[in-house]
Amino acid sequence: MKVQLLFPELFQLLLVAGLFVQSVVQRDRPGQLKNWLPWAAGVGVLVALVSLGQSGLLFAQIYQVDRLSQFFKMTVSLGFFLTVINGVGQPRLERAKTCDYFLFMALSAWGLMLLCSTVELISIYLALELASFSLFPLVPLRTKSLSGAEAAIKYIFIGGVATTVGLFGFSYILAAQHTTDLNQLVHMSWSHSPMAVLGLTLFLSGLLFKLAFFPFHFWAPDVYEGAGNETAAYIASLPKVGAVAVLLRFTPLLKPGMDITTTLAVLAAVSMTYGNLAALVQKDVKRILGYSAIAHAGYLMVGIVAGTAMGVAAAGFYAFAYVLMNFTCFWVICRESKGGENLKLNDLRGLSRRAPGLALVLAVGAVALVGLPPTAGFMGKFFLLAAAWNRGCNWLVMIAAGNVAVGLFYYLNLVRYAYTKKCSEASGTAPEIEGPTSVLSLFGGLFLAGLVILFGVLPNLVFRMLMP
Amino acid sequence: MVEAHFPILTCLILLPLLGCLGVLLIKTPLAVKGWALGVSLAEMLLGLCLLQFSMGTADFQFVESVSWVPAWGLRYFLGLDGISVFMVALTLLMFPFCIICSWTSVGTRVREFFICLFVLISALIGVFSALDLVLFYLFWEAVLIPTYLLISLWGGPQRDPAALKFILYTLAGSALLLVAVIAFRMEGGSFSIPALAAQSFPAHFQKWMFLIMALAFAVKVPLFPFHTWLPAAYGQAPVAGSILLSAVMAKMGAYGFLRLGLPLTPEAAHFFAPLIIAMSVCSILYGGLLAFAQSNLKKIIAYSSLGHMGFVILGIFLFNLNGVQGALIQMVNHGITTGALFAVAAILYRRSRSHDISANLGLGRFVPALMGFWGFFAFAGFAFPGTNNFVGEFLILAGAFERNLWLGAVAVPGALLAAAYMLRPTQKMAWGEPSTAGGWRDMSSREWISLLPMAFLVLYMGLAPTLCLKVMNPSLKHLMGAVQSRKTVTLSVDKAFSTAAANQNDLKDTLERGGRP
C-alpha cells in the first residue's frame, strides 16, 4: 500500500487529532485555535492539490483513488479551509465549545473525503454516516436560539430516516445482486430484478437527502435558517460535494432511456423549478439560499443524468463552482450579521453605502448563482447543459435553461436590496453605524469573488485538475 | 479569414476594463470624469486602427483565435466583417458621447457609474466582434448586469420597476438561447459561427433554433409584441443608459438576426419571414401611433425607436440587397439620431427639470441653438431627405416594394407617422405659448462639443453614404448569396417532393376510381 495515495485523508485525520488534543487539553483557551487552524487547513488544500495525480485501489478494492476522487477531496478540503476562515471568530458560539465545534466539522469533512473514494456500498454507507453524524451536533451549538434546537431535531430525524432507508435499500441490493462492489454493480443487469431496482432507489434516496434533492429537500431551508450562519455555510456546500462524488460513481448505470435515469431527470426538473419558485417569496436570506440549494441540486443532477465523461466533468466543475459561489454569498452574510443573527432582506438595505466592498462580493456571488457570465456559475451551467444535450432528455436542458430566468429574480433581490434600496430611517434596527469592515474580511470576500470570476473566465484551470 | 497582426479587438475590449481599475484609484468626481473621458478618447483612437479594414472582401478581418477550453472546443475567436465593423464603430462613437452627455447629470456614486459604463462598453464590443457562439452568448448576457445597475441606480423616479422589468424580460428572452448554442454545437460539431454558417441543418432543427433565437433577438430589439419593457427602461434610464440602450443595445438584436439568424438557419428564416415581417410592420405602425400619443419627450423618442427598429427588421427579412443594406445603414443612423435626441432631451431636462412637452414650450426665442439642434435631429428622425435616416428608410422601402407592392404600401404610412409624431412636439417646443424657457441659458460649449459631431455625421451619412455602402456591400452580398442559394436548393427539393407526392395522389385517385393508372 502506498501511503502517498492517502495524503489528503491522513492530513485531515491529523487535523482531527490535533483538534481533539486541544479540545481535551486546552479547553479553557480556545483562542489558541485561531493561531494554527486556518494555516493548517490551508496546508490541507495544498496537500490535496499536490496529490491530485494519484491513482490506485486500496483495502481490497473498496477504496478507489483516482482523478475524480482526488479532485473532490481537493474541493472538500478547500471548503473546509473556507469554513474555518469564515467561522473562527463566530459570535454565536460558546468559547468553551469552539474546539469541539471544529473537531466535529473536521471529522465531517474527513467523512466526506472518504466518501469521495469509496466504491463499495457498506463503506459508502459508513462514510456517509460519519459525515452526517458529525454534522448533527453542530446545528444546536448556536447559543440562545430555540430555532437552532428545532433545526437540529429536524436535521437529525430526517437525516436518520434517510440513512435508515438507505440501509434498507442496501439490504435489497445485496440480496438481489449478491455483491456490494460498485464497480461490479454498475455493469450488472438491473432489469431482471425489481427488488434490486427498489433497493437502488432506496439507497440513492439516502444520498439525495444529503444533496437536498426534491423530494428529500424539506429540511434544507429550515436547517439553514436555524443553524448558525457559519454552520449553514458548511451544510449548504460540502455535503453536496460528497453526495455528487458518490452519485457520479453510479453514472455508468444511468443509460439514457432507462427508468431510473428518467426518474432522476424528472426529479431534477422538479427540484430546480420548485426550489426557484419557492425562493421567490422568501424574506430571510438564508432561507433564500436554502431554496436555491434545492434548485442547484437539480442542476447538479443534470450532469449525473447525462451519464457521459463530459457529464461527470461538468458536474465536478459545477460542484466546485457551487462551493465557491455559496461561500461567497455566505461570507457576506456572516460578516454582515455582526451578532450572528439571521439576516433578512431588509437588513441588506444600504449595504453598498456601508460596505461597498462586501456589496460587490455579494453581487458577484449572486450573479454567479444565477448563472450569468463572466462567472464560474455561468460556465458550470453551460457545461452541464452541453453535456446533457442529446442524451435523451433535451426537455430537461430546456427547463434548466428556463429556470435561470426564474432564479434571476430572487438572486437579483439580494443585489437590489444591497444597492438600490436605501436604509429606512424608521426601522432603526439595521446595523448601520459600525466601523468599516475589517481589511481581512474584505480581502477574504474579494478573494472568493475573484476566484468565482477567475474560474468563469478560465475554466480550463479546473478542467486541467479534473481531466488530465 | 485575415489574421490580425496586432490583437486590436482584444485591446478594444480590455481597455475599458483597465479603465475601471484606474477609476478605483481616483478620488474626486471631477478627476474620475476626466479619466473616463480620457479612456473613452483613447479607446476611440485605438479604434482608428480599424480603418485598416480592407473593403471589397466578405472575409472576417482582424481575426484572433486562441484555444480557450480545449476539452469542450471553446475558442476565444474574434473578428469583424463588413456588418460588425459598423456596430463596433457605433459603440466606439457612443462611448465618449455618453460620457460628455452625463457629465453633470450623474451626481451620486460617480465612480460606480463609470465602472458600469466601462464594463458595458467592453461587453458590447465583445458581442459585436465574437465569432464563437459561446463567447457571443457570454458577452450578450454580460451586458445585462451593468445595464440593470445603470437604470436602477441612476435612473428616474420609477427606476426600480423599470430596471427589474428590463432585466427579467431580456433574460427570459435569452435564457433559451444557451440551449440553441449547445444544440448547434451538437448538431454542427463546432461553436465557430463561420464554420456553422457553412453547414446546412435539417429543416425541422432550423425552425426550432430560429424560433429560440428570434425570441431572444426580438426582445432585445424590441419587436412588437415584446416591446413592453422598452418605454419604462428608455424613459427611466439615465441619459447615458438611454443612449446606449437605444443606440447600441437595440442593435444587438438586429445584429443577432444578421449574424446568426440568417446565416445559420436560412430556411427557417424564409419560413418564418412573413411572421417576422408582420411583427415589424406592427412595430412600425403601432410604435408610430403610440409615439404620436405621448406627452413625454423621452417616451416619444422611445416609441419612435420601436418604429425605426421595425424598419430595420423589415429590411433584414426582405431578403434582397436593398433591404438589408438599408437595414444596416438604418441601424447606424438610428443610433446616431436617437442618441443625439436623447442627449438633447437630457440637456432640456437640465434646464426645465421635466421631460414633458408642456414644460419645454416656446424655446425658439430663448434658446435658439438648442432648439435648432432638436429640430435638426427631429427632422433626421423622420427621415427628411438629406439626413442620414432618409438613406436607410429609402433603401428599405425600395426593397419592400421590390418584394411586394402591398408590403411597401403598408410600410409607407409608418414613415408618414414619423413625420407627424416628430413635428408635433417640435412645433410646440419651438413656438408654443406660454414659453417656459425665459431665463434659460443656451447651450454651453460642452453641449456644443457633444452634439456637433453627431450633427456632422447626420449630414455626412445623409449626403454621402457611398463609402459605408462600399464597406458593407461585400459582406451583405455574401450573406444574401448564401441565403438565396440555400433557399433555391430547398425550394427545388420541396418541389421535387411535392410533385412526387402529387403524382402519388393522382395515382391513388385513379386507383380509387377503379381505373388503371
- Tell me which residue in B141, B149, B163 faces A373 most closely, judged by beta carbons: B141
Alpha carbon distance A457, A447 (integer Å): 15
Query: Å from A361 to nearest chain B CA?
Result: 14
Q: Is B506 exposed, middle or buried (0-12, 13-18, 19+ CB in 10 A)?
A: exposed
Orientation angle between helical segments A121-135 and A194-211, nearest 10 degrees: 30
Let me know: does B184 contact B161? Beta carbons within 8 Å: no
- In B, minimum Cα distance to A467 occurs at B71
Predicted confidence (pLDDT) at residue A430 exceeds the cutoff of 60: no
- Tell me which residue in A390, A409, A419 faces B186 most closely, judged by beta carbons: A390
Give residue-wise pLDDT tens across range B240-263.
888 888 889 889 999 999 999 888
Interface test with A, best of B67, B160, B166, B179 (most A CBs within 10 A): B179
Query: Å from A404 to nearest chain B CA?
Result: 7
Let me know: does B291 contact B300? Beta carbons within 8 Å: yes
Among B residues 157-176, those touching chain A with beta carbons less than 8 Å apart: 159-160, 163-164, 167-168, 171-172, 175-176
* Contacts of residue B96, Cβ cutoff 8 Å, sequence gap at least 6: B37, B40, B41, B44
Alpha carbon distance B309, B127 (integer Å): 19
Predicted confidence (pLDDT) at residue A40 exceeds the cutoff of 70: yes
Q: Which residues of A touch B138 (CB under 8 A)?
A: 373-374, 378
Give residue-wise pLDDT tens across range A263-282.
888 899 999 999 999 888 88
State residue B516's pLDDT score.
45
* Per-residue pLDDT band at A426 (split at 50, 70, 90): very low
State residue A423's pLDDT score.
65
Among the residues of A250-284, which ranges form H helices?
Answer: 259-279
State residue B487's pLDDT score.
61
For B51, the enclosing helix (H) or strand (E) is: none
Give phi and psi for B65, each to the nearest 5. Answer: -140, 115
Interface test with B, best of A71, A404, A467 (most B CBs within 10 A): A404
Burial letters B281-290, b for 16+ CB under 10 A, else e = bbbbbbbbbb
State residue A429's pLDDT score.
47
* DSSP code of residue B83: T
Whole-structure pTM value: 0.89
Alpha-carbon distances of B509 from A29, B245, B378, B495, B501, rounded to whole Å: 98, 60, 64, 20, 12
- Tell me which residue in A310, A394, A419 faces B153 most closely, judged by beta carbons: A419
Q: Spell out, as residue ranges, where chain B has pLDDT lower than 50.
A: 514-517
Give residue-wise pLDDT tens across range A364-412.
999 999 988 889 989 999 999 888 887 778 888 889 888 888 888 888 8
Residue with cell 473498496: A62
pLDDT higher at B231 or A147: B231
3-state DSSP assignment of residue B61? strand
Alpha carbon distance B158, B324 (integer Å): 37
pLDDT higher at A431 or B453: B453
State residue A432's pLDDT score.
47
Half-sphere exposure in the Cβ direction for A301 (13 Å, CA): 31
Whether B512 has its CB under 8 Å from any CB of chain A: the answer is: no
Q: How far is CA A419 from the centre of its chain?
A: 28
3-state DSSP assignment of residue B74? strand
Predicted confidence (pLDDT) at residue A468 exceeds the cutoff of 90: no
Whether B135 has its CB under 8 Å from any CB of chain A: the answer is: no
* Per-residue pLDDT band at A246 (split at 50, 70, 90): confident
Read off the amino acid at residue B183: A
CB contact under 8 A, B168 and A405: yes
Let me know: does A295 contact A404? Beta carbons within 8 Å: no
Let me know: does A132 contact A123? Beta carbons within 8 Å: no
